[in-house]
Structure 1
Amino acid sequence: MDCSNVVDLPELQQIFHANFPSTRYRRFTMFGTTEDPVPLTYLPDEIFGPISFQEIVIRYTKLQRIGTYAFMTSNSTLQTLVVTQSDLQSFPATILPEMSVLEDLDLSYNELSFLPDLCSTSLHDLDLAHNPDLSYTSLAFEQLPYIVNINLASCGMDKLEANLFLDKANLSTVYLEENQLTELVAGSLAFTGAAINEVILSGNKISTVEKSFASGLGTNTYLALLKNNITTLPEEVWRQVFEQLSLGQGSVLLDAFDPADNPLACGCDLAWLVTDPTLLVHLAEGATCADDTPVHDLDPQYYETNCT
């Protein structure tokens, strides 16, 4: 069912007051464009009447608010809910426990300022990217036991709470790129279950990384830190990360296409990594020193002789 051409709320309400041959439909869509968004600003409670859907996909609208019970007729059928490229300022998260089969929730590219703590035993994919002033509590994701993918890219984050992603045995990808993070404190990247596959932190301002910032990484984890301000990889902080990755095919990506990004000093504090090929292989090719020398081209013999 496509309602992309509705001009106002009364028209949409009139549509769903009609008699339908069935009350169960696969997909509802409402698509505008950047130049011509759908003019609706509000979806009230029971807007869909008795009709239920498996998917609701809404893009490029002027939606700012959604009623708490707007989607309740689909509480036992809705698997995918997408409201993106709109002006959404809040989301009725209290409906999530009632959405018993909802797996995919995409609220990206909106104007959400606060995310209530989420609770769902079915949700697998959560996309909140590009809500530029988003805030939430340290318990925001605590009650999402089966979450697989979380996207928090470009949300204006300036800090990352410890243990935010803990106790998520199925968590595979976490996207945190293009935020305003300056440090990774102990427990920032604490995971459970070793299912974690990708952690993307590129395009932040990270310069400080504390001991025990990461735990529970999988042996094949891809940890990307491009375009940050990391100047050193102290052994007491980073060895445990590289040792865990050395059990599989995981890697740490620090390539600096511009020497101003992650300008590694490459002094004796890097000797532990340069002189151990079993660990160095897990630093992705492309990482460079501040003088633009590739880390993989450094002479381990020099470090063994001069860094005792």
Structure 2
Amino acid sequence: MVHRIFVLLAALSCCFCCGTLAIENKDQHLRELPCPPAEDIQPCVCTVIDSSTYDIGMDCSSVTTNDQLASIFSKDFPYNDFFSLVIDNNYDLTTIRPGDLGQKTFQEIYISYGSLITLEYRVFSSSYDTLTYLDIRYTNLDYFPFHELSLFTQLKYLHFENNQFHGSPSLSSSTLRLLHLNGNPIEGFELNVLPLLEEIWLQSTELTYLDPGTFTELLNLDYIHLAYNGLQVLEAGTINLQTSHNTVHLYNNDLTSIAEGALVGLKGGTLDVQNNQLTEVAEAVFRPLMDDGVDVYASGNPLDCGCEIAWLVTSDTYMSQLDSDASCTSGQLVSELDPDMFAVIC
């Protein structure tokens, strides 16, 4: 009798183990199902990014040739719609050709730290209606078909930091919200039609001049980053923002002059002109900004602290909107100047 009970328990235990293993295998199968078989896509790796939505991502960082990439994406997959494509630290691919990604679609594409030079026209054509985020940084990319931007109907973020774009790219998109071109040696740019653009990053791009009207028709723009360039003057009509609580970074340029009307519409925002060559906080330029609640950062400029600065130092309100490190050519902090003296002699 005891023996029969032991056998029964052993059998039940075995069934339980088998059932548990079957459930685990089923769960594993469900997790892997959206991805193609691993052996079909080597050396690419497919991952289920979000099990609740079955979003899947492809990491093809280890591919060595275009033909290998094309062969992988030409195969029949269980699903052709991917959430993301990643190619990171790849120094074998110098170009990506039309057809290399087959008919697969992506919502986000990340290519970084490699030898990529060229993205040919229509290379992402299958993703015209799905791509929202295109991020290609720290490569040798010197050609991208910018005229193709308008064909992407969902693209919101274009991040091209530290590549090798030259010239003056012409940009047109009815959906783009963020444009990031930091670290490219461009000579200029044309923001033809970017009605939804909110942020633009142009740090360290070797810009020396901005045409009047450059930032005046972008009704949603509230963040401009132009630091570490060679800008010397800002002419009237260069920047006119329509949003509130916006930010303009102009620090570490060579600005010697900002014309009246060069900066308009920075309501309740921030203007950073630190480390330039400005000799005055000109009343005609800065007073209207401060009247609109703008905080001004001006340290690192050789300011002449004569009567031309009296409007500023005699107002507690304006002084509270100036950074505490702003100083005169003598080294004295503007915040330490005696307002009573300026009230008497000026």
TM-score under structure 2 normalisation? 0.81
Aligned-pair CA distance for 1:194: 2.6
Q: Does residue 234 of structure 2 align to residue 184 of structure 1?
A: yes
Matched residues in 2 for 1:222 and 1:237: separation? 14
SS in 1 for 2:193: coil
Aligned-pair CA distance for 1:156: 0.2
- Residues 24 and 52 of structure 1 are in contact (CA less than 8 Å); yes or no, is this contact kept in structure 2? yes
SS in 2 for 1:58: strand
- Residues 260 and 284 of structure 2 are in contact (CA less than 8 Å); yes or no, is this contact kept in structure 1? yes
SS in 2 for 1:118: strand
**Which residue matches 2:200?**
150
Q: Does residue 215 of structure 2 align to residue 160 of structure 1?
A: no
Aligned-pair CA distance for 1:170: 1.6
Paired letter, 1:253 = Y
Matched residues in 2 for 1:67 and 1:199: separation? 34
**Which residue matches 1:254?**
298
- Residues 170 and 195 of structure 1 are in contact (CA less than 8 Å); yes or no, is this contact kept in structure 2? no
Aligned residue runs from structure 1 range 97-246, under 5 A: 97-131=150-184, 133-137=185-189, 140-191=190-241, 193-195=242-244, 197-219=246-268, 221-245=269-293
SS in 2 for 1:135: coil
**Which residue matches 2:138?**
85
- Residues 271 and 304 of structure 1 are in contact (CA less than 8 Å); yes or no, is this contact kept in structure 2? yes
Q: Which runs of 5+ in 2 are unaligned?
A: 1-57
**Which residue matches 1:15?**
72
Aligned-pair CA distance for 1:236: 2.5
**Which residue matches 1:259?**
none
Aligned-pair CA distance for 1:117: 1.6
Structure with the higher fraction of residues in helix conformation:
2
Matched residues in 1 for 2:186 and 2:245: separation? 24
Question: What's the RMSD between the two structures over aligned residues?
Answer: 1.3
**Which residue matches 2:120?**
67
- Residues 118 and 144 of structure 2 are in contact (CA less than 8 Å); yes or no, is this contact kept in structure 1? yes
Aligned-pair CA distance for 1:196: 5.4
Is 278-287 or 96-105 further displaced after alignment? Answer: 278-287
Q: Deviations over 1:64-93 (max 9, x none)?
A: 111110001001110100111101112111
Q: Does residue 321 of structure 2 align to residue 282 of structure 1?
A: yes
Aligned length in residues: 289
Matched residues in 2 for 1:19 and 1:196: separation? 50
Quickly say closer, same or farther: Cα 1:297–1:176, change in 2 above 3 A.
Answer: same
Matched residues in 1 for 2:239 and 2:117: separation? 33
Aligned-pair CA distance for 1:96: 1.2
Matched residues in 2 for 1:201 and 1:128: separation? 15
Aligned-pair CA distance for 1:290: 1.2
Aligned-pair CA distance for 1:38: 2.6
Matched residues in 2 for 1:185 and 1:57: separation? 37
- Residues 247 and 266 of structure 2 are in contact (CA less than 8 Å); yes or no, is this contact kept in structure 1? no
Matched residues in 1 for 2:197 and 2:283: separation? 32
Matched residues in 1 for 2:272 and 2:282: separation? 18
TM-score under structure 1 normalisation? 0.90
Q: Does residue 99 of structure 2 align to residue 46 of structure 1?
A: yes
Aligned-pair CA distance for 1:189: 2.1
Over the matched positions of the two proteins, sequence identity in percent amounts to 30
Matched residues in 2 for 1:92 and 1:23: separation? 24
**Which residue matches 2:25?**
none
SS in 2 for 1:15: helix
SS in 2 for 1:94: helix
**Which residue matches 2:339?**
300
- Residues 159 and 180 of structure 2 are in contact (CA less than 8 Å); yes or no, is this contact kept in structure 1? yes
Paired letter, 1:168 = L
Quickly say closer, same or farther: Cα 1:195–1:141, change in 2 above 3 A.
Answer: farther
Matched residues in 2 for 1:49 and 1:179: separation? 40
Paired letter, 1:172 = D
SS in 2 for 1:270: helix
Q: Which runs of 4+ in 1 moved over 3 A?
A: none
Quickly say closer, same or farther: Cα 1:53–1:115, change in 2 above 3 A.
Answer: farther
Aligned-pair CA distance for 1:39: 1.6
